Structure 1
Amino acid sequence: MVNQALISGVLLGGVYALVSLGLTLIFGVLHIVNFAQGAMLTLSMYTVFMLSTQAGLNPYLAAVLTIPIMFAFGWAFQAGIMNRVMGDTSHERPLLVTLGLSLLIINGLLMAFGGRPAAVESPLAGSISLFGTLVDRPRLIACLGALVVGALLTLVLRKTPLGLAIRAVAANDTGAALVGVNVKRIYAMTFGLGAVCVAVAGGLMAPFTSLIPTAGEQFTTLAFVIVVLGGLGSIPGALVGGLIVGLVQTVGSLYLPGGGSLLLVFVLFLLVLFLRPQGLFGAKQ
């Protein structure tokens, strides 16, 4: 049972990390918490659902096609709306705008699809044996996807001119503007990349998640906990934080059934905030 819990915890942590990557990227550059993260995750799931059911595409091919759709959505939202409110000295307006986007997406999906649960059939459904335990194939693919996306994001941020510009804006947007960086364009690119992370997460999670308009909301709070736990703006921190939360939740459920495992997660969260406020991978301010 412990081995099964450990494997399940790693897989669950990979899913959590996948959802958290976009959130930590957006916060690291734009310095706002995207309250629409869960709603955007749901939107990407329903996009995969429509492409796979109406167009007859393989769900994983549909997930690939969802990536440019969500990138365009994130770019347009940041360029058309968020850039207009981020110049204000008030920090509440961007938060309220993302909250409004969340409500708009959820209610729009509710009007379009209703509240009845839907499902995406995976061609790779089933389990495999790993270290003497049963592993669900779609969850294993999602966990591996989180590692790949994390590695690609790290590569982009460290090895490309776009990544250099993003890191410059994250460190000092005024200084970046003085040396010729189009800050608003980088903001839009960053929100678009955050939406891409959500698109990958939604595409890989759709085969084992019951689709309802509020399906992504359950991940919003945990994603924020993971981002703070790993270190605000840290890609490796989001990966490690997701794995830690997943392990604590699954192993803790063996000893504290029901909601006790979540209690352990928040206890760990408070301990990290008390002992290392900047998070596991965050830099001291």
Structure 2
Amino acid sequence: MEIFLQLLLNGVLLGGTLAIISIGLTLIFGIVRVVNFAHGEFLMIGLYAVYLLNQHLGLHPYAAIVPVVVVLFCLGAAMQRFIIQPLLSAEGHIQIFATVGVSIALMNAALLLFGADVYSVSNPSGLGTGTVSLGFLRASSGQLLTFVVALALVGALHWFLHSTFLGRAVRATAQHRNAAQLMGVNVKNIYIFAFGLGCACLGLAAGMIAPQYPVFPTVGTFFVLTAFVIVVLGGLGSLGGALLGSLLIGVVDSLAGFYIAPDLKEVVYFLIFLGILIFRPTGLFGAGRGSE
């Protein structure tokens, strides 16, 4: 029983890490309706930025979050403005090809600049890498803090989207872009802001996970494939769905890795992914929304 509870705790905490990454992805799709296949590469940029700030300025990864969030917001906004926006009137697959192209370009740029070496941040203080005891359970302090931050992020985004003028404009654009435009909302600017906000979440994720994970050019693929499963599971565009989907996949990952086999845990949640696509394509919490 103790082993099961420990695995359950590990899965929930892993879900917090996955949630921050998945929330950015579901925000972009829910508002701009573009599946960003470069999402993992933006996380990779964030991790390299945290590493460089740590090595050259001596900043702890948590202290590097603010500048990295700003940088990724600007990069995401620039991608939407100069790459995605000119293609919005084209077929949906053209936009997908554009994000795949950006993904390949960023990955190869990282290989050119940093090589294939694996880098880790220096953390003399040990903040984010220690262990916390909760009775007979033990948890990584970094994962525990990341879980708390994930909950705070969902709460902050929910408040922003429901309680501010800009947030309501974002929701109106997500629900029906033409109706929002008729009410005076600048839809193009909302798209730029939303894409930047989704990428900014990756800046937060990069700072939180940098003490626990190394950085290398393909690091994004280790997270983004799972993030796609989570977003589909929770419902494309649903913040609450992304959080609950992350917790579910985190628990499945932990339990399957122990009770089945570490090499087969991905098979289990990809089977769940296929089941959701077949029996409930909108996800557990997804709902249809007008797009025109």
| TM-score relative to the length of structure 1 | 0.96
Partner of 2:146: helix, strand, or coil? helix
Whole-Å separation in 2 of the counterparts to 1:52 and 1:197: 19
Shift of 1:284: 5.1
Shift of 1:253: 1.7
Residue in 2 that maps onto 1:162 = 166
1:211-234: CA deviations, max 9, x gaps?
Answer: 111101111111111001001100
- Work out whether residues 55 and 122 of structure 2, in 8 Å CA contact, stay in contact via their aligned partners in 1: no
Q: Does 1:68 align with 2:70?
A: yes
Q: Does 1:239 align with 2:243?
A: yes
Shift of 1:270: 2.8
Q: Which runs of 4+ in 1 moved over 6 A?
A: none
Partner of 1:66: helix, strand, or coil? helix
Whole-Å separation in 2 of the counterparts to 1:109 and 1:275: 39
Shift of 1:268: 2.1
What pairs with 1:134-173 in structure 2 (closer than 5 Å)?
A: 134-173=138-177
Residue in 2 that maps onto 1:215 = 219
Shift of 1:142: 1.6
For structure 1, the 5+ residue unaligned runs are none
Q: Does 1:110 align with 2:111?
A: yes
- Work out whether residues 131 and 140 of structure 2, in 8 Å CA contact, stay in contact via their aligned partners in 1: yes
Shift of 1:274: 3.6
Q: Does 1:278 align with 2:279?
A: no
Aligned residues: 284
Calculate percent identity across the aligned residue pairs: 40
1:68-100: CA deviations, max 9, x gaps?
Answer: 111111111111221111122x11111111111
Q: Does 1:87 align with 2:93?
A: no
Shift of 1:141: 1.6
Moved more, 32-41 or 98-107: 98-107
Whole-Å separation in 2 of the counterparts to 1:277 and 1:95: 19
Whole-Å separation in 2 of the counterparts to 1:132 and 1:275: 40
Residue in 2 that maps onto 1:228 = 232
| TM-score relative to the length of structure 2 | 0.93
Whole-Å separation in 1 of the counterparts to 2:240 and 2:64: 27
Whole-Å separation in 2 of the counterparts to 1:258 and 1:134: 20
Two-structure CA RMSD over aligned residues (Å) = 1.3
Whole-Å separation in 1 of the counterparts to 2:218 and 2:273: 25
Residue in 2 that maps onto 1:129 = 133
Partner of 2:173: helix, strand, or coil? helix
For structure 2, the 5+ residue unaligned runs are none
Residue in 2 that maps onto 1:119 = 120
Residue in 2 that maps onto 1:35 = 37
Residue in 2 that maps onto 1:267 = 271
Shift of 1:258: 2.7
Q: Does 1:204 align with 2:205?
A: no
